[in-house]
Amino acid sequence: MKIDNNTIRGWGISQDTGVKITDTPPLFSRANERAKWLHLLLDPERWIMFSAVEEYIQKYYKKKPIRILVLGCGTGAQVVDLAHYFGKRVDVDGADTVLMHVQMAKEKMCKYGVDAQIHCIGEEKFPWKKGTFDIVYAYDMVTGIEKKEAWVAQIHRVLKATGICITFSMVQPSALCVRERTLQAIKQDEGVLEDTCITAASVLQTLRAAGFVTIKRYGRIVSWITWFPESYQWLCDATQGQAKKMQHLQHTCALKKEKRSLFVRQICALAPLLWFYTLGRIWYSDGAVFVAKKQ
């Protein structure tokens, strides 16, 4: 990683080792996609997040489009999806801390015909004025961010008084953080303390400390590995000695998922979606969607 004047320039690509950047294509590649809501069933987390955006639009949209900031937009797929799904009712901006991602996202905007501004930002200070956006949309908001409190405080600052933050975070139950907390206890004795275990409670605490008042949480369950095997890499670390078995399970589930028809995949996704709206409000295993209102 190259840094120039405190600006992250991006991650290098090594030809010898074959390292490359994963460029995820958008779910809605066309603005006039038919039966768009059916495609969301393939991604229950996005269903919840898009539903929160739609609810906000129904309540506050009049003549001016709703301004949305996609925080951590990566190579721009989420910006394209939001712009194509909600159309003229929204004005979408994207932002990422990695310059290479920003450059790739700008190219993607041109490719898919999306009129959106993409910005390269730092973690501690966002370039927008107070109360600029109606919605901050962030997938995996806190993972990889060193100063989480300052990051979330900036999100709160750039939101309007009626604004909301919609985010999905890779969180773990406290019971699964035993190994991480044991390591932290050792580091504490050495004079180094860094909390690497992110729980839903810690995310809620960070959101409340930033000033968010009403926060809804929707959790997901570990059995989703049969539907979404790509989301469970962390389990290989948690199982330690059984990591190879978990990797084999992931690989097997991924192959089976590729062979399923679109209809079957949508039907299978109804189970975790139902969990989101029911027991997921109380219990989760490895991830949760948070919808936080500023007031």
How many whole angstroms separate alpha carbon 294 and alpha carbon 286? Answer: 26
Over residues 179-199, the pLDDT tens digits come to 555 655 655 555 544 556 777
Listed in sequence order, the residues at least 6 apart from 288 whose beta carbon sits closer than 8 Å to its beta carbon are: 168, 169, 171, 200, 203, 217, 218, 219, 220, 280
Q: How confident is the model at residue 157 (pLDDT cuts 50, 70, 90)?
A: very high
Domain boundaries, the chain: 29-173+196-221+276-293
Written as six digits, the tokens of 152 are: 């979330």
- Find where tokens 């919840």 sit: 48
* DSSP 8-state symbol, 115: -
Q: How confident is the model at residue 94 (pLDDT cuts 50, 70, 90)?
A: very high
Contact 99, 8 (CB under 8 A): yes
Written as six digits, the tokens of 141 are: 């908001």
Q: What is the mean pLDDT of residues 242-265?
A: 64
How many whole angstroms separate alpha carbon 249 and alpha carbon 223? Answer: 12
| Four-way CATH pick for 29-173+196-221+276-293: 3.40.50.150, 3.40.50.2300, 3.30.365.10, 3.20.20.70 | 3.40.50.150
What helix, strand, coil percent values describe the chain, rounded to 5? Answer: 45, 20, 35
